[in-house]
């Protein structure tokens, strides 16, 4: 068995009353969520690329990590659709998706905003509708994803504020800064601009995240 990607056996989670699954609001909400998660993941990858190009390696890695989370959210939603709707149905959705964030700073700000909408409005509402239509497991999943998005919001708010203010690598009181390349550690109010041990730039210093 492949331990990284174990095969799953699909089963129908709920009949959702007598409705055909593809006629439910939950089916359309899953499709919209899949589209939203795919786009969020790609937007974050683009911010991560800009961050890397500007020398912010650890910032880039953190944003990539969140992008990976969104890819897995998309996979969970995709699997629910396939599981309940089969392989062949085309699902029509009409939705608005954001195209914002022309700089790292803006990208981080809009990302925090989008995460807040998902965690506070969109997914709780989709969870409510799924429960109403009889899809308990899907409802619980929407709520679990909302919880993750809530943490993503906190992360993006932190990254946005500190990137904007130039305080990603400074602190009011002395804290430990670590070079992610060589492991050198140093306690001060400000991280080294060049690692004294391996000469890596400040962009490789481990971030202090919320
Ligand atoms: Fe997500
Ligand atoms: Fe997210």
Ligand 1 centroid to residue 172 C-alpha, Å: 33
pLDDT the model gives residue 22: 87
Pairing mode of beta strands 185-190, 170-178: antiparallel
What long-range pairs does 119-126 form, CB within 8 A, spacing at least 24? Answer: 119/146, 119/147, 119/149, 119/150, 119/152, 119/153, 120/146, 120/150, 122/33, 122/36, 123/33, 123/149, 126/26, 126/29, 126/33
If you measure from the C-alpha of residue 147 to the centroid of ligand 1, how many angstroms do you get, rounded to a whole number? 10
Question: Which ligand number lies closest to the CA of residue 152?
Answer: 2
| Residue 65 pLDDT | 98
Distance (Å) from CA 71 to ligand 2 centroid: 9
Distance 47 CA to ligand 2 centre (A): 14
Token couple for 150: 């809530």
pLDDT of residue 207: 98
Q: Which residues are bridge partners to 187 per DSSP?
A: 176
**Which regions in the chain score pLDDT beneath 70?**
1-19, 88-89
């Amino acid at each position: 068995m492949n331990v990284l990607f174990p095969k799953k056996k699909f089963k129908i989670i709920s009949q959702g009353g007598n409705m055909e699954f593809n006629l439910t609001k939950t089916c359309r909400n899953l499709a919209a969520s899949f589209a939203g998660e795919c786009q969020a993941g790609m937007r974050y990858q683009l911010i991560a690329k800009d961050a890397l190009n500007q020398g912010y390696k650890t910032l880039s890695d953190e944003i990539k990590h969140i992008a990976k989370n969104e890819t897995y959210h998309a996979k969970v939603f995709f699997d629910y659709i396939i599981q309940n709707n089969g392989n062949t149905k085309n699902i029509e959705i009409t939705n608005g998706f954001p195209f914002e964030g022309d700089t790292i700073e803006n990208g981080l700000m809009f990302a925090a905003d989008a995460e807040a909408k998902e965690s506070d409005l969109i997914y709780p509402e989709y969870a409510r509708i799924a429960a109403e239509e009889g899809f308990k497991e899907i409802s619980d999943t929407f709520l679990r994803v909302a919880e993750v998005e809530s943490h993503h919001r906190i992360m993006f708010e932190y990254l946005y504020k500190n990137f904007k203010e130039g305080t990603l690598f400074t602190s009011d009181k002395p804290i430990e800064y670590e070079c992610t390349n060589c492991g050198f550690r140093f306690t001060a109010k400000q991280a080294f601009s060049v690692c004294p041990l391996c000469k890596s730039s400040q962009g490789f210093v481990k971030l202090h995240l919320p």
